[in-house]
Structure 1
Amino acid sequence: MYTRREMKKCENITLIGMPGSGKSTIGKLLADELDFDFIDTDDYIEEKEGRNLQEIIDTNGNEKFCEIEEEAILELLPLQNSVISPGGSVIYSKTVMNKLNQISTIIFLDLPLEVLKERLDNKESRGIVGLDSLSLPELYQERITLYNKYSNLTIDCNGLSPDEIINLIKVSLK
């Protein structure tokens, strides 16, 4: 159900994964369970920029969006006792990922491509970096390597309820 690599004492938890993997849903529930703050960086970016993610990508392009994302996340740090839910494209920033690795345990919420396809019925308007030039399967293949590279813990979420995922996370962090 989960793969564990080097774990650290947990001040923060960062959830990474593809759009549709449940980062926000699991993040909110996990934060409540642990009595941590919940930080959704996509919400922060939209509030800061005054537009939704798709508008930012359409207007500024993928590269500029990634710069905006990096800046916004670095502004939020350092954090304590927080569950952090960054956008799926955060793994393109070595700077941010290295910083998140210093202050948190990074957990990859892994789901098969077929499940993600079912969940992403709004992918054209969701603000997903790279979908203008890659298909969802290509984007998945590109990112899966990076999610595995940066994560301390991988949770196979396929077929699990949010409560089951949270319980797996809690058990693995003990």
Structure 2
Amino acid sequence: MKSIYLVGFMGSGKSTVGKLLAEKLGFRFVDIDQEIEKKEGKKIKDIFREKGESYFRDLEKRMIESFLESKNLVVSTGGGLGADSENMRKMKENGTVIWLDTPLETVLDRCKDDDERPLLKKDRYELEKLFEKRKDVYAQANIKVNTEGKSPEQIVNEILGRLR
């Protein structure tokens, strides 16, 4: 079976849902952010600080490309990776893209104590603009799942039902 790519804003549950979904499908789970940290030998926040966001986005593009030909994967993408039109097109050509649509308020609540996410350093207005801009690309996904008020298990079951 082709791979499944989970997209959505930071804190939307891509990693949590991805692990559960992979388990249910008997697929391998890949977290692009973790793969980048492993390859670079440092945390994403340190990559951002030392080399900048554009360097990191280039790493994301190269990393996702290394998994595009793979089968039977559930891939958790970083929030910015899935918001890039070129990446979206490539993922859709090679698998099914699922957008975990989560309201900004929920995301901010989930991430409030997380100092590992460089983009959370932006002010509220900048985050809202980024969120709205990214939604335009996320909306190109094959499947949109509204996550509000649902447990990870409920989200996985909805995805499984929609994949059939």
Q: Give 2:17's aligned residue.
A: 26
Q: How does 1:36-55 map to 2 (within 5 A)?
A: 36-55=27-46
Structure 1 counterpart SS, 2:116: coil
Q: Give 1:14's aligned residue.
A: 5
Structure 2 counterpart SS, 1:91: helix
Aligned equivalent of 2:80, options 66, 70, 89: 89
Bigger drift between 48-57 and 72-81 goes to 72-81
Structure 2 counterpart SS, 1:29: helix
The separation in 2 between residues aligned to 1:60 and 1:156, in whole angstroms, is: 34
Task: Tell me the alpha carbon deviations over residues 53-112 of structure 1, each in whole angstroms, 9 at most, x when there is no partner.
Answer: 111111111111111111122123311011011101013543332221111110000111
Structure 1 counterpart SS, 2:97: strand
Q: Does 1:98 align with 2:74?
A: no
Give TM-score, length-normalised by structure 1: 0.86
Query: Contact 2:4 / 2:96 at 8 angstroms: preserved in 1?
Result: yes
Bigger drift between 121-130 and 44-53 goes to 121-130
Following TM superposition, by how much is the alpha carbon of 1:36 offset from its aligned partner in structure 2, in angstroms? 0.5
Give TM-score, length-normalised by structure 2: 0.91
Aligned equivalent of 2:109, options 103, 108, 118: 118
Q: Does 1:165 align with 2:155?
A: yes
AA aligned opposite 1:51: K
* Greater share of residues in helix: 2
The separation in 2 between residues aligned to 1:52 and 1:119, in whole angstroms, is: 20
Query: Contact 1:62 / 1:129 at 8 angstroms: preserved in 2?
Result: no
Aligned-pair identity in percent equals: 36
Instruction: Report the aligned-residue RMSD.
Output: 2.0
Structure 1: segments with no counterpart, 5+ residues = 1-9
Corresponding pairs, count: 164
Query: Contact 2:31 / 2:76 at 8 angstroms: preserved in 1?
Result: yes
AA aligned opposite 1:165: I
Query: Contact 1:110 / 1:157 at 8 angstroms: preserved in 2?
Result: yes
Task: Tell me the alpha carbon deviations over residues 20-43 of structure 1, each in whole angstroms, 9 at most, x when there is no partner.
Answer: 000000000000001011010000
The separation in 1 between residues aligned to 2:88 and 2:32, in whole angstroms, is: 13
The separation in 2 between residues aligned to 1:133 and 1:96, in whole angstroms, is: 26
Q: Give 1:142's aligned residue.
A: 133
Aligned equivalent of 2:68, options 52, 56, 77: 77
